[in-house]
Amino acid sequence: MASVDGIPPEDGIPSDGLPADDSAALPRPEPGGDHPHVAIVSGLSGGGKTAAAKLFEDLGYVVVDNLPGELLPGLADLVATNPARFARVAIVLDVRAGDAESAYRATRGALEARGIRPQLFFLEARDEVLIRRFSETRHRHPLGEGRGIAAAITDERRLLDPVRAEADVVVDTSDLSLRELRERLFARLGDLEPDRMAIQLLSFGYKFGVPLEADLVFDARFLRNPYYIAELRDRSGLTDEVRRFVLGQPAATRFLDLVEPLLAFSIPAFADEGKSRLTIAIGCTGGQHRSIVLAEELAAWLRANGHGPVSVFHRELARS
């Protein structure tokens, strides 16, 4: 089965979008107050923006893709003056708009001047994955004229880096199925709180690679591994048995005692620097036990102490 913008489809889901009976069960976030909800979808070519646009379309969003940068402020006017028709809008904005950074800032400025705070999603993938996707689909890279794809990807990363730095949600699609991409996007859809930095806890397995979107990375492999306990091997860190095993280790308690004050200090500092989102990744060998337990514990502590909004994603659970 073909892929959508490089994202492998899940079994039974066609590459041109989700079936109606599946999408009908998806959450349909309501716009806050009297203002529409506007999602700006940006990222690298081949990173999954087309797949994301189709997912937003299934949720009833008006999707605008590949609009010239000069027309984007006018679109903001249209959305603001007709909120009933444009209650949910997704704007795909990337290097095809010309000067992507200027187009993004003009669009965001036009929306915020009308009381609409857009939510920015940025999709990316590892270079070797992007190159493979272009090779498989035979699509032309928008910056690839007269040079190789690797050089075009490098240049595109540089051009989009200012946009990525302001993203509310960054997703590495390198190893995600279409269903996993949907879960990652919709878990964060509409959770934007103006002037508050969004925090994501991400558990992962080192043998599958460190997440590209991570701002802070903690290694949990110093703890005893439940994998080697027969009755715990096939249970995840979300179960009470594994949680008790991991947190029963003095080293786990000490880890939390050290990391929590570090986060209490650094999170306000990141927010003061204007950072809109912070991704904290916690890894163990396979991403099934220790990292999940610690990510859940830190998420609970962050929520209890008023940091947020806080979301949690366990990258490797789908592999089990």
pLDDT score recorded for residue 74: 85
Question: Of the candidates 192, 220, 240, which is a domain's last residue?
Answer: 192
What are the b/e assignments for 153-174, b being 16+ CB within 10 Å? beebeeebeebbebbbbbbbbb
283 belongs to a structural domain: yes
Q: Which domain range does residue 152 map to? A: 20-192
Helix (H) or strand (E) run with residue 200 in it: strand 198-205
The number of folded domains in the chain is 2
Contact (Cβ atoms closer than 8 angstroms) between residue 173 and residue 123? yes
2 belongs to a structural domain: no
Q: pTM of whole model > 0.95?
A: no
Question: Domain check: are 85 and 120 in the same one?
Answer: yes
183 belongs to a structural domain: yes
25 belongs to a structural domain: yes
Question: Domain check: are 55 and 143 in the same one?
Answer: yes
Question: Domain check: are 209 and 163 in the same one?
Answer: no
d(CA 185, CA 103): 23
Question: Domain check: are 40 and 109 in the same one?
Answer: yes
Question: Domain check: are 221 and 301 in the same one?
Answer: yes
pLDDT score recorded for residue 66: 82
pLDDT score recorded for residue 253: 96
pLDDT over threshold 90, residue 282: yes
Question: Domain check: are 229 and 174 in the same one?
Answer: no
Whichever domain contains 58, its CATH number is 3.40.50.300
Q: Report the SS3 class of residue 3.
A: coil
pLDDT score recorded for residue 5: 56
9 belongs to a structural domain: no
The DSSP secondary structure of 23-72, one letter per residue, reads HTTS--PPPSTTSPEEEEEEE-TTSSHHHHHHHHHHTTPEEEES--GGGH
218 belongs to a structural domain: yes
pLDDT score recorded for residue 15: 35
Question: Domain check: are 186 and 203 in the same one?
Answer: no
Question: Of the candidates 135, 168, 192, which is a domain's last residue?
Answer: 192
Amino acid at 309: P
Strand 198-205 and strand 88-92: the pairing is unpaired
Q: What tokens were used for 293?
A: 């337990």
pLDDT over threshold 70, residue 183: yes
Question: Domain check: are 106 and 209 in the same one?
Answer: no
Question: Of the candidates 157, 192, 227, which is a domain's last residue?
Answer: 192
Amino acid at 72: L
Contact (Cβ atoms closer than 8 angstroms) between residue 211 and residue 202? yes
Question: Domain check: are 186 and 206 in the same one?
Answer: no
Question: Domain check: are 238 and 171 in the same one?
Answer: no
Contact (Cβ atoms closer than 8 angstroms) between residue 104 and residue 40? yes
14 belongs to a structural domain: no
With tokens 């990292």, the residue in question is 291
pLDDT over threshold 50, residue 13: no
7 belongs to a structural domain: no
Question: Domain check: are 74 and 117 in the same one?
Answer: yes
Residue 124 CB burial class (10 angstroms; 0-12, 13-18, ≥19): buried
Query: Model confidence over 151-162: pLDDT tens digits?
Result: 999 999 999 999
Query: Model confidence over 54-93: pLDDT tens digits?
Result: 988 888 889 999 888 788 888 888 888 888 888 889 999 9
d(CA 189, CA 167): 13
d(CA 86, CA 129): 35
Question: Domain check: are 277 and 296 in the same one?
Answer: yes
